Each structure stands twice: as structure tokens, then as C-alpha cells.
Chain A
């Protein structure tokens, strides 16, 4: 079971700013272990952020996103207490969904 995300969503003016940290190795598939074997690629491929069920960001990621990924963006609207839900899916099909209330 992957570790939970840290999500911060705050109202800034007439927008909501969302900042997320995810716990993931983001292994490139380019590295070798001590025995010289290639460490297989293992990385988040899709991220969806929804505000009250409506998607506000869709992302596709490759192996170049840094380990323990960080993402920030803003969307118009959003009020204190609204639910923000984030889901990621990696190339092994592993999935994690976390939610927070806009603060």
C-alpha cells in the first residue's frame, strides 16, 4: 500500500491553490543495481485532481518526474471546506487516492 499524499489546498483571492507531495520512487528504468541488473521502470503515469467531483487537472507523466513528486497549480473558484480529491496511477497499475478539504 503506497503512503498517503500530502495535499494542501488554500483559497488565494478568487482561486484555489493546490500543492501536492506524493510518495513514489519514480524509478527511470535507466539505473542499474549493485549487481549490474537494470532496475525496472516504476513511475506514476496519470494524475487526476478533482474539485467536488469535477476534474480540474489531468496529467500524464513520464519517468523524468522527480522522486516523491511535487505538483502545484491553481483553479478558479473553490470555497473553504470543498473537497479536493487526487488520484494517481502508476505503470504497475498501483493506485492511490487521497482527499482534503480546502483550507
Chain B
């Protein structure tokens, strides 16, 4: 599985990705007037599809992307804290993808110059899944992943 995913990550075309990111507003950080929402990427039904639509082109696994304040086990899938920090120079954007969600792409954060490449938010997870942090920096793509287990809590009813 892991290998297959890597292949997909590498298979996406850089050119297509570039076009999509321009459309998504990734390459125009700071342009608040140009509000847009990457419909095809957000509505993709599988991780591979989302990555293909939205790029991740020749993204490489990176140790410079770190999950902070992100637990290995979530007591409830309705609220899962996710923190992502990138120490890759010229980080322009950070995206969160949750492999086993009905729509894997959860969020894209554009990071204009002067903003630290570190964001924290909370996501919903339908079940235990790998979570991907996709980073765009200086025109290149990097990725890190982490499995988060979702437990069944409480009295169960």
C-alpha cells in the first residue's frame, strides 16, 4: 500500500499541478479578493484522485514537515487536532489530506511571506487513517504522513 501511494505521489504531472494551483489561488498568496475554492480537489473521492487533481506532483517524503500537537489516537473522530509545521525554506502552502475520509482533502492553507509555515486546526475523521501533510515550497512538493487511530468512546450509544 505504502509503495503504491508513493508511486501515485510521484506520478502526478508537475505541469497539471501548476495549472491547478494557479486556479486554486495557491500561487497568489495575499490576494484576498481572488477568493476561490478548488472544487475538483475537494470533491475527489480517493487520496490518489485528490493528489492527481491537485498535484502533489513529484512530492518527496520530507522529515522537515512535522506534526505537532497531533495525537496518535483520537478519543473522538469528530474533532481531531492537527498541527503541521514545515521548516522547508520558502514554504508557500500546506494542505491536509485524510486518506480514508469520503473526501480526502480537508484543507489548504496559503502561507504568504512573513507568515510562519505552521498551522493548527481540527478535522473530522470517519475512521482510523493516514493523514498527509502536503507542502509546497519554492515550486516543489513535499509530503509527510502519520497514522491517527480513531477510537470508539463512551457508553457507545
Contact = CB atoms under 8 A, between A and B. Distances in A.
Do A and B associate with each other?
yes
Interface of A: 15, 26, 28, 30, 45-46, 48, 50, 54-67, 69-77, 87, 89
Interface of B: 24-25, 29-32, 35-38, 42, 78-80, 96, 98, 101-103, 105-112, 114-116, 118-125
Contacts of A69: 121-122
A62 B43 CA distance: 8
Contacts of B120: 70-73
Given A46-B35, A55-B31, A89-B35, A62 B110 contact: no
A58 B24 CA distance: 11
A65 to B, nearest CB: 6
Contacts of A15: 116
B76 to A, nearest CB: 10
B28 to A, nearest CB: 9
